[in-house]
Structure 1
Amino acid sequence: MHEIESGDPAADHEIEMFPKRSDVNVPQHRYPHCLVWCPLPIISWIFPPIGHVGIADSKGIIYDFAGPYYIGEDSMAFGWPTKYHQVDLNLVGDADMWDHGVWEANAEYKRRVHNLCCDNCHSHVAHAFNAMRYKGKSNWNMYSVGWFIFMHGRYTG
């Protein structure tokens, strides 16, 4: 067992049993306040930056606009994430503001028809980013979201 600064073994055990809310847990598919990405069959093989994106709430539950009037919850349309980017909540405010943005995007996109070219999973995430004013911006779009995950995402494996 390792040395504990506080000298309280019970406190150390509690920390190990109950990880911080913001810990990414790839085997359990939990990505708190993350943008997540997975490849699209054939399309991503030809043009790697293109893929399917989702957004996770502060508890790590993933939501993705997977089809007309449908928001997937904890089951992405094309498989589990292979890339993710965990957002610094200070760029949003706090976990409640993050969750409100995710909730607002989900509520809006449950009423929309999915269109591969102009109203898709990337647009869903952009709507969430705009609702929470991520990085102080409200002009996120499907292209900026795609570029963001391509540049900042890290692989899960």
Structure 2
Amino acid sequence: MAFGKPVKYWKLDPSKVYSTGSNAWDTAVHDASEEYKHRMHNLCCDNCHSHVALALNLMRYDNSTSWNMVKLCFFSLLYGKYVSIGGFVKTWLPFVLFLGVIVTVVLTLHLR
């Protein structure tokens, strides 16, 4: 994993794969991985979320071929589960600290 161990996951339902073959899930994951072997991942446009979205489109997960990194991110936030309390803290503590610093600075400047 490029950024460390996973802290959150969204468990997908294999019965939502729209296909006639019994190995459609594995085939779609394999084909998406083959495609992404030749692509340069970048943080903003073509990243691991795009890779997963391609696999979901190939398998027509939930009878959809409109998966993209934004939709995947939204559903992961909505349906994802943290692996532990530590995973939750690792995800949100930096944001809360950053927000706290901004609020403190703004209030300090406003109260002067």
Q: Structures share a fold, TM > 0.5? A: yes
Of 11, 16, 23, which residue of structure 2 is paired with 1:91? 16
SS at match of 1:134: coil
Rg: which structure is higher? 2
CA shift digits 1:112-134 (9 cap, x unpaired) = 11222211111001001001100
**How many equivalent pairs are there?**
82
Query: What's the CA shift for 1:85?
Result: 1.4
2:63 maps to 1:116 = no
Structure 1 segments unaligned to the other structure (5+ residues) = 1-75
What stretches of structure 1 move > 2 A for 4+ residues in a row? none
Query: How high is the sequence identity, in percent, across the aligned residues?
Result: 50
Structure 2 segments unaligned to the other structure (5+ residues) = 85-112
Partner of 1:60: none
- The CA RMSD over aligned residues, in Å, is 1.5
TM-score by length of 2: 0.68
Query: What's the CA shift for 1:95?
Result: 6.4
Partner of 1:103: 30
Partner of 1:77: 2
Partner of 2:55: 128
TM-score by length of 1: 0.49
